[in-house]
Structure 1
Amino acid sequence: MRSGVLFDVDGTLVDSTYLHTVAWWEALRQQGADVPMATIHRAIGMGSDKLLDHLLGPDRDHDKDAESSTAHDVLYGAWWERLRPLPGAADLLRAVAGRGLAVALASSAKAPELEHLRRVIDADDVIDAATSSSDAAESKPAPDILQAALDQSGIDPEAAVFVGDSIWDVKAAATLNIPCIGLTCGGTSADELTEAGAAAVHDDPAALLAALDKSAIADLSVGERAQHRQ
């Protein structure tokens, strides 16, 4: 097992959070549910199952869930070709790999979407593993997708850091006792991420890259070098 960093993708490495928000807003309206965008935005980062529970309650008509999820996927899919990486995304992944650390994407996107997100990031040469929704029984804030990323990459959970943009990312990491570095580029404030338990907060991947030498990731690379010397 080795040291490494897990990365959320949507809102952390790719600028997609608000597009997911609009897609869910319209998908829910099509089913007769008028939910404010601000409320939806705060739920982004959950899987569709938990997001619908969170927004509509467990007593809703579950027969409409599949239609809502499909509508979201179609609406969001119209934006795929316009997705862009967040500032410094690929550079951050390469810098982490350059420290001898494993790089794993802990995404709950469906497989075709994840494939496109990887093209947007354009750093496949340093990505050791990447998860999709099929790799986890439960979505965030359950830790299943992080555990899958650990298993696929061979990263030691006691020598790992997770980078994410939502409070659901922070909560999922906490369940596995993995420190989480929060990024505000997904639209969640620094105060909210800190209150949820983030070990540190930065604006975006570029800001984390600039502070990498003083981050928890730097501590991992020191440990990795010590392990190699042994």
Structure 2
Amino acid sequence: MTPPRTPDRSAPSRRGVLFDVDGTLIDSSYLHTVAWWHAFNQAGHDVPMHRIHRLIGMGSEQLIDELLPADRDRDGDDAIGAAHGALFSVHWPGLKPTRGAAELLRRCTDAGLVVVLASSSNVTEVAAMREALGSDDLLTAVTTATDAEHSKPAPDIFAAALEAGNLRPEDAIVVGDARWDVESAWKLGLDAVCLTSGGISETELREAGAVAVYADPQALLDDFENSPLGRLVPAG
């Protein structure tokens, strides 16, 4: 796997895009939903899929806290998280990008924007998704769960992505697919463009504070010049 490009720390006016991965660049939100559903069932918890799906993109610890009773025996939480990871890994060979994902990354790079992947998934999951995306040559940096003390909706992963890309909040935009992306971005003063490719409605994403909503990366690419990403492109 080709390593991300080394950031040019001397660049005077770097602007860039922080991309969430699951549900945004990789069509995996429903695979995560099914994996969590099986993991909960294996641990004896009956959690409906629709409740799980609405929380995809939130960190594992927070997701489990939201879905299970507060008075549960928390000693089993780590095993549930590990089971989800193992069940999701079965799907790695078949992971596919969302429509237009790789092309959007290239358009950003060609326009002079820094591209950073900002995922709360672990290193091995992110590696599998990068393999499916096949766009490592377009990336300036990649951040994973190991780069953040707290996962979404905490802002840690986007803070790490800003640092990795040598970007200021006023010079960057988040692209994600969940309200947790919007909430995390907002805490750092970042605008968030959202995609409905993760299965969350445009209405909910706009109510969360997304500055623009598109169906998928291809739709955002088709409107690139008029989008918040296009307006971020350095002049000249």
With the shorter chain as reference, the TM-score category is: over 0.9
For residue 58 of structure 1, report the CA deviation from its aligned partner: 3.6
* In 1, Cα distance between equivalents of 2:73 and 2:124: 28
For normalisation by structure 1, the TM-score amounts to 0.95
TM-score (norm 2): 0.93
Q: Match for 2:219: what amino acid?
A: A
Partner AA of 2:225 in structure 1? D
Q: Quick check: 1:7–1:106 contact (8 Å CA) kept in 2?
A: yes
Return the alpha-carbon distance in structure 2 between the equivalents of residues 182 and 60 of structure 1: 34
Q: Does residue 87 in structure 1 map to residue 118 in structure 2? A: no
Distance 1:98 1:117 in 2: 22
Deviation at 1:157, TM superposition (A): 1.0
Is contact 1:4-1:156 (8 Å) kept? no
Q: Distance in 2 between matches of 1:185 and 1:41?
A: 13
Q: Of 44, 55, 59, which aligns to 1:32?
A: 44
Deviation of the 1:60 alpha carbon: 2.4
What does the per-residue CA deviation read over 1:91-124, in whole Å, with 9 as the maximum and x for residues that have no partner?
0000001110100000011111111111111111
Give CA deviations for 1:43-79 in whole Å, capped at 9, x if unaligned. Answer: 1001111111111144322100111011101111111
Tell me the C-alpha RMSD between the 2 structures: 1.0
Structure 2 residue aligned with 1:225: 235
Q: Which runs of 4+ in 1 moved over 2 A?
A: 57-60
AA matched with 1:64: G
Bigger fraction of residues in helix: 1
**1:42-191 counterparts in 2 under 5 A?**
42-191=54-203
2:20 is the alignment partner of 1:8: yes
Q: How many residues align?
A: 224
**CA distance change for structure 1 residues 57 and 176 in 2, over 3 Å: closer, same or farther?**
farther
**Which secondary structure state, in structure 1, belongs to the residue aligned with residue 115 of structure 2?**
strand
